[in-house]
């Protein structure tokens, strides 16, 4: 009987080893396919919505169903994919798992299963900051436990788990990873952390802290960039492999189209290298290497752990026309030099490198920088009484440039203006051109060399609106009969939508108008929205269907004063609310009685009509030709929480006044 039991135990152990080897080999096949697995978007993505992982009591004492959305790559067989757990941001009082839909789809299309997780929120973080964060961390742990119990159903392996988040979610991801190192769970093994501009919340780094990628914009006005510098320094001192990806000029928005490709490429490359399926003796010191066209890009490597240093093969997978600059070098070097072609277009260029150890290829990318910077500045020309444009162009590259530049509509990619000659412009030199017109649309600046090769395409994404003066004051009643509706601005472009689960901008959007007189700036909107939901307090009206609008006013010398941000909403009971969230110190925050509103919802359309006194902006006498910085958004809620918004200029949803567009006051025509 003892021998029989021993045989049974032996077979069970053998089965476990076979299962482990099957999962490892199967995972290796996913990771080590020719050209590098988990790097290219090869899979369709299946979304499993609203998977409830726990029911808990929230800060109001009400039971709340906590759910996650699971993004699964559609593939043949039973491959156990690595798992990414992502935690949304929102300052602990807002945000939703649907906010991560775009990045989750990107990762899942490359072979990861992605769980985007909701957690308990609190209206006021400051009322109990410690309790709020503790509750959220407990929720994340419950979500991961649920995922561990259901991994066979959705074909992922929690022993290869990455955890990440943006803003508040980044803080939670870092905190959870640090705590997880002190209380290891056999069923869950973290191999990476993805921190998108989260505050640096930890001071003591656990020795088992996972490899970490930190992504942060230098112009973030919500969480300062130096927070990520601080975390990066602490991780480095603790000996943790980490990467800091800097978004130059980026704000508090990892989904900004200007940086989106950089965010996707850097996370994909980092996760590929960090996966434990292939223990690399060497890893890229920096997965993003910046260079200009014509430069030699240098990729350095750092030794990992106690493993003996592996020799590098100078065998790489490079874009067509690229070549190694040090192919004669010895195999034991730890730096690779790559010649960037002189006529290559600015952008991201992934590369693969292999080592003698025969492990999975290492991933990095060359970020070919834009050689020219473009600044488009509309201004009011007093002589002609028209709005003109000044274009300032600076050569950022280390070489003189010649060629042509032109502008075209960013939305349609058509309507090229005639090309302008680009005479020789030296490094660091600035040239300016005055155009006797302006575009009310976002534009794209295209640069080509003398041979016609396109060197860069730069988006100039702000809108400009010219508001005409009213001959008579408007009656604010929610009717636009008195308005001249011939000059609308759009609120229905795909690039303006910041709403999840909407297949078309026709589902939500519309148009707007701005006018003015000596006493008020007037605003009108017509927004298609079948389901109008607004049940929030005045401070929280942005969580329901509502309008938010921001202004920056210039002083006498042309400098910009502080930011004003107002909101208005129609409640379900027919009453209206207004609120001021931001202003310079001399103005009072809170409900604002002097903001006149007329808001109606009828036949699936919400009409907003507002009159804001100039004195609420600190303007004593508005003048023809006066310029203001301006942004606007309309929030959407169909009964299941804030779904997102449609915006005219950015800078409100993700606080960044540098993203505001331009508003000019002109006389009536």
Question: 258: which residues sit within 8 A by CB, 6+ positions away?
Answer: 250, 459, 461
Mean pLDDT computed over 70-91: 93
Cα–Cα distance list, 169 to 86, 172, 194 (Å): 8, 5, 10
Q: What is the pLDDT of residue 25?
A: 33
Mean per-residue pLDDT of the chain? 88
Half-sphere exposure of 222 (CA within 13 A, CB side): 23
Rg (CA), the chain: 28
User: 129-149 vs 168-182: helix axis angle to the nearest 10?
Assistant: 70
Check: pTM over 0.95? Answer yes or no: no
Q: What is the pLDDT of residue 7?
A: 40
- Scanning 317-425, the segments in alpha helix (DSSP H) are none
What are the two backbone dihedrals, phi and then psi, of residue 183, each rounded to the nearest 5 degrees? -130, 75
Q: What is the pLDDT of residue 30?
A: 45
What is d(CA 577, CA 589) in angstroms, rounded to the nearest whole number? 14
Q: What is the pLDDT of residue 327?
A: 52
What is d(CA 317, CA 339) in angstroms, rounded to the nearest whole number? 13
Spatial contact of 301 and 346, defined as CB atoms under 8 Å apart: no
pLDDT tens by residue, 384-429? 999 999 999 999 999 999 999 999 988 765 666 778 999 999 999 9
Under the banding of pLDDT at 50, 70 and 90, the label for residue 88 is very high
Look at 317 and 444; give whichever has higher pLDDT. 444
Question: 233: which residues sit within 8 A by CB, 6+ positions away?
Answer: none
| Backbone CA torsion sign across 163, 164, 169, 173 | positive
Spatial contact of 629 and 617, defined as CB atoms under 8 Å apart: no
pLDDT over 60 (residue 451): yes
**Sheet strand arrangement including 312-317:** 288-291, 362-368, 347-355, 312-317
Under the banding of pLDDT at 50, 70 and 90, the label for residue 93 is confident
Q: What is the pLDDT of residue 501?
A: 66
pLDDT tens by residue, 52-79? 999 999 888 899 999 999 999 998 888 8
Residue with tokens 């203001």: 628
Which among 508, 492, 484 is positioned nearest to 606, based on CA atoms? Answer: 508
What is d(CA 147, CA 30) in angstroms, rounded to the nearest whole number? 21
Render the burial of 381-406: b for 16+ CB within 10 Å, e for the rest.
Answer: eeeeeebbbebebbbebeeebebebb
Q: What is the pLDDT of residue 18?
A: 33
Q: What is the pLDDT of residue 364?
A: 94
Q: By mean pLDDT, which of 234-238, 557-561, 612-616 is the weakest?
A: 557-561
Spatial contact of 625 and 382, defined as CB atoms under 8 Å apart: yes
pLDDT over 90 (residue 211): yes
Q: By mean pLDDT, which of 78-82, 433-437, 614-618 is the weakest?
A: 78-82
pLDDT over 60 (residue 556): yes
Which residue(s) pair with 337 in the sheet? 298
CA 97 to centroid of chain Cα atoms: 14
Q: What is the pLDDT of residue 335?
A: 83
Which among 416, 537, 521 is positioned nearest to 473, based on CA atoms? Answer: 521
pLDDT tens by residue, 272-299? 999 875 567 788 999 999 999 999 999 9
pLDDT over 50 (residue 330): no
Q: What is the pLDDT of residue 29?
A: 40
pLDDT over 90 (residue 181): no
> Encoding tokens for residue 627?
């310029």
Q: By mean pLDDT, which of 137-146, 318-327, 516-525, 562-571 is the weakest?
A: 318-327
Spatial contact of 323 and 229, defined as CB atoms under 8 Å apart: no
Beta strands in 486-559 (DSSP E): 489-491, 497-499, 509-516, 520-528, 546-554
pLDDT over 50 (residue 329): no
Q: What is the pLDDT of residue 414?
A: 60
Q: What is the pLDDT of residue 454?
A: 95
DSSP state of 543: G
Under the banding of pLDDT at 50, 70 and 90, the label for residue 83 is very high
Which among 369, 273, 285, 280 is positioned nearest to 335, based on CA atoms? Answer: 285
What are the two backbone dihedrals, phi and then psi, of residue 333, each rounded to the nearest 5 degrees? -75, 160
Under the banding of pLDDT at 50, 70 and 90, the label for residue 314 is low
What is d(CA 467, CA 628) in angstroms, rounded to the nearest whole number? 11
Q: What count of residues does the chain have?
A: 669
Q: How many helices (H) and strands (E) does the chain have?
A: 7, 36
pLDDT over 80 (residue 4): no
Q: What is the pLDDT of residue 307?
A: 58
Q: What is the pLDDT of residue 79?
A: 83
What is d(CA 465, CA 387) in angstroms, rounded to the nearest whole number? 10
pLDDT tens by residue, 461-493? 999 999 999 999 999 999 999 999 999 999 999
CA 248 to centroid of chain Cα atoms: 13
Mean pLDDT computed over 568-579: 96
Which among 489, 556, 498 is positioned nearest to 526, based on CA atoms? Answer: 489
pLDDT over 70 (residue 592): yes
């Amino acid at each position: 009987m003892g021998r029989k039991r021993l045989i049974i135990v032996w077979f069970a152990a053998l089965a476990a080893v076979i299962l482990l080897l099957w999962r490892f080999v199967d995972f290796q096949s996913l990771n080590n396919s020719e050209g590098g697995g988990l790097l290219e978007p090869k899979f369709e993505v299946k979304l499993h919505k609203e998977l409830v992982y726990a029911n808990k009591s929230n800060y109001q004492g009400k039971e709340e169903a906590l759910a996650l959305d699971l993004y699964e790559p559609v593939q043949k067989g039973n491959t156990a994919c690595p798992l990414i757990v992502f935690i949304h941001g929102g300052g602990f009082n807002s945000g939703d798992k649907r906010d991560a839909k775009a990045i989750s789809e990107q990762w899942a299309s490359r072979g990861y299963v992605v769980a985007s997780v909701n957690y308990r929120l609190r209206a006021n973080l400051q009322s109990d900051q410690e309790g709020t964060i503790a509750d959220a961390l407990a929720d994340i742990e419950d979500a991961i436990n649920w995922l561990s119990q259901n991994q066979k159903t959705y074909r992922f392996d929690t022993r290869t788990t990455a955890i990440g988040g943006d803003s508040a979610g980044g803080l939670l991801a870092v905190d959870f990873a640090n705590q997880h190192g002190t209380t290891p769970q056999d069923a869950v093994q973290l191999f990476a952390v993805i921190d998108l501009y989260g505050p640096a919340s930890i001071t003591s780094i656990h020795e088992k802290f996972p490899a970490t990628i930190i992504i942060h914009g230098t112009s973030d006005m919500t969480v300062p960039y130096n927070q990520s510098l601080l975390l990066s320094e602490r991780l480095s001192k603790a000996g943790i492999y980490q990467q800091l990806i800097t978004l130059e000029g980026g704000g508090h928005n990892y989904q900004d189209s200007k940086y989106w490709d950089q965010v996707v490429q850097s996370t994909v490359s980092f996760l590929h290298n960090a996966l434990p399926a292939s223990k690399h003796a060497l890893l890229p010191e920096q997965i993003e290497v910046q260079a200009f066209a014509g430069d030699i890009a240098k990729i350095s490597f750092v030794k990992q752990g106690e493993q003996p240093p592996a020799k590098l093969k100078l065998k790489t997978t490079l874009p067509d026309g690229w070549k190694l600059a040090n192919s004669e070098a010895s195999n034991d070097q730890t730096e690779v030099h790559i010649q960037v072609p002189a006529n290559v277009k600015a952008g991201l260029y992934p590369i693969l490198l292999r080592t003698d150890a025969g492990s999975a290829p290492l991933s990095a990318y060359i970020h070919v920088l834009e050689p020219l910077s473009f600044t488009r500045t509309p201004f009011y020309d007093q002589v002609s009484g028209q709005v003109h444009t000044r274009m300032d162009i600076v050569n950022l590259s280390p070489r003189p440039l010649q060629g042509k530049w032109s502008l075209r509509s960013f939305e349609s990619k058509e309507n090229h203006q005639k090309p302008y000659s680009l005479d020789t412009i030296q490094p660091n030199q600035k040239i300016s051109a005055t155009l006797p017109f302006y575009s009310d649309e976002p534009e794209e600046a295209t640069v080509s060399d003398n041979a016609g090769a396109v060197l860069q395409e730069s988006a100039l994404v702000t809108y400009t609106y010219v508001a005409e003066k009213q001959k008579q004051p408007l009656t604010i009643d929610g009717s636009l009969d008195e308005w001249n509706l011939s000059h609308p601005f759009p609120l229905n472009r795909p690039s303006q939508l910041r709403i999840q689960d909407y297949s078309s901008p026709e589902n939500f959007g519309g148009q707007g108008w701005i006018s003015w007189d000596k006493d008020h700036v007037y605003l009108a909107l017509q927004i298609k929205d079948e389901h109008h939901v607004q049940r929030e307090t005045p401070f929280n009206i942005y969580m329901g269907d509502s309008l938010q609008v921001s202004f920056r006013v210039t002083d006498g010398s042309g400098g910009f004063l502080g930011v004003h941000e107002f909101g208005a909403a129609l409640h379900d009971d027919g009453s209206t609310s207004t609120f001021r969230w931001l202003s310079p110190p001399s103005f009072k925050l809170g409900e604002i009685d002097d903001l006149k509103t007329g808001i109606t919802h009828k036949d699936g359309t919400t009409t907003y009509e507002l009159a804001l006194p100039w004195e609420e902006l600190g303007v004593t006498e508005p003048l023809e030709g006066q310029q203001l910085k301006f942004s606007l958004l309309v929030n959407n809620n169909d009964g299941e929480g804030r779904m997102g918004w449609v915006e005219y200029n950015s800078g409100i949803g993700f606080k960044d006044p540098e993203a505001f567009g331009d508003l000019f006051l002109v006389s009536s025509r």
